[in-house]
Amino acid sequence: MTSSTRRVVVHAPAKINLHLRVGPPGGDGYHPLVSVFQALSLFEEVTAAATAPGAGTSVTTAGRGAAAVPLGEGNLAVRAAHALALAAGVAPDVALHLRKAVPVAGGMAGGSADAAAALMACDLLWGTGATRAELLALAAGLGADVPFCLVGGTALGTGRGDVLQQVDARGELHWVLVMAQEGLSTPAVFTALDAARAEGSVPAVQDLVPEVPAVLAAALHSGDPVAIGAALANDLQAPALALRPDLAATVAAAGVAGGLGSVVCGSGPTVAVLARGTEHAAELAATLGAHGETKHVCGPVPGARQVEGADLSPLHPAMRGRAETATP
Ligand code: C5P
């Protein structure tokens, strides 16, 4: 980048959890997690444009669910810009524009992707010289999923989900996302899990082993989608289904339709269904359209990255030119 750069555009991916185990909450209210994340070809796009000195931070939004996104200090991209400016000792002068594609409150880390993309875009715009480690530390302070949106790929997350280690995963997976109109509150789903465990309606907390379960590790290493589909697991699925009983029908329909496996994304309500390949994904997307808006995406994809211009297609290269069942 040169000092004449006036605008930086960054894409950051949505995530799903192939495996999510949740421990009892700590004193800070956060739950220890063992998570296997995968980044998907569904991207938030953040443009960071230079403003007049002293103008401060402004934000505008467009795209999927944009009206539901706060525009003040509660906006995660704004918080990211402010955190970076403070750490780097620069003025937080930037006009941010978020082009959203990830469902708001959909369990896919859309807000975290905004924060990750804003961190990278502002870092490039301002030329702060922050190291990768410094950006990751700032990301972890913004939210548990923000570091993963920076690194992408397929990764084991421990701690709050923010301590990351890449996982050996071969091949490309085809997922059909079934997206709901109404989002789910992440804290409400964690609280429902705690309550269900306290009353004994879901199994008590197991010991959290901070590694990829052997069966899933072998499946990812081989890249066999049938084995991966059989190994999907999420402790937040039961409380998400309890809060949103309609999701049980989506999960059941995914099995009847021949999905290799399905899992609620994070705290829901999006459901991810694994397909054998492109054609199978198109069939599943058509069949499951009765349960919500469907979209065919691929994983894994890289984390946040600068793109050449705002008009680039936000699609993974593997998806270019393919028919899609929905557009953001
Ligand atoms: O970190 P983030 O802001 O994305 O998390 C949203 C909410 O999800 C937290 O406020 C907390 O209620 C819940 N959460 C949790 N344990 C985690 C991650 C998130 O309880 N490890």
What are the tens digits of pLDDT across the range 146-159?
Answer: 999 999 999 999 99
User: What pLDDT score was predicted for residue 198?
Assistant: 94
Q: Tell me the residue length of the chain.
A: 328
Q: Which residue ranges have their beta carbon within 6 Å of ligand 1?
A: 29-31, 33, 112, 143-145, 160-161, 186-187, 190
In three-state secondary structure terms, 101 is coil
pTM: 0.91
Q: Does the pLDDT at position 142 exceed 90?
A: yes
Q: What digits encode the pLDDT tens for the residues 172-231? A: 999 999 999 999 999 999 999 999 999 998 888 778 999 999 999 999 999 999 999 999
- For the segment 108-137, the average pLDDT, to the nearest whole number, is 97
CA of residue 145 to ligand 1 center, whole Å: 9
Q: Tell me: pLDDT of 235 over 50.
A: yes
Residue 260 buriedness (CB in 10 A; 0-12 / 13-18 / 19+): buried
CA of 30 to the centre of ligand 1 (A): 6
Rounded (10°) CA dihedral 328, 281, 145, 136 = -90
- A 10 A CB-CB count for 26 gives 10
129: DSSP letter: -
Segment holding 273, helix H or strand E = strand 271-275
Which of 50, 39, 267 shows the shortest CA–CA distance to 173? 39
Q: Give 246-291 pLDDT, tens digit per residue.
A: 999 999 999 999 999 999 999 999 999 999 999 999 999 999 999 9
Each residue's pLDDT tens digit, 66-84: 999 999 889 999 999 999 9
Could you tell which of 20, 185, 190 is best to mutate to test the pocket of ligand 1, judged by most ligand atoms within 8 Å of the CB?
A: 190
Report the pLDDT value the prediction gives residue 207, as an integer from 0 to 100.
Answer: 86
Cα–Cα distances in Å, from 18 out to 39, 76, 314? 10, 25, 23
Query: What is the C-alpha to C-alpha distance for residues 298 and 147, in angstroms, rounded to an integer?
Result: 20
Q: Is 15 a catalytic residue?
A: yes
As given in the structure block, the two tokens for residue 190 are 């964690």
Residue with tokens 């071969």: 170
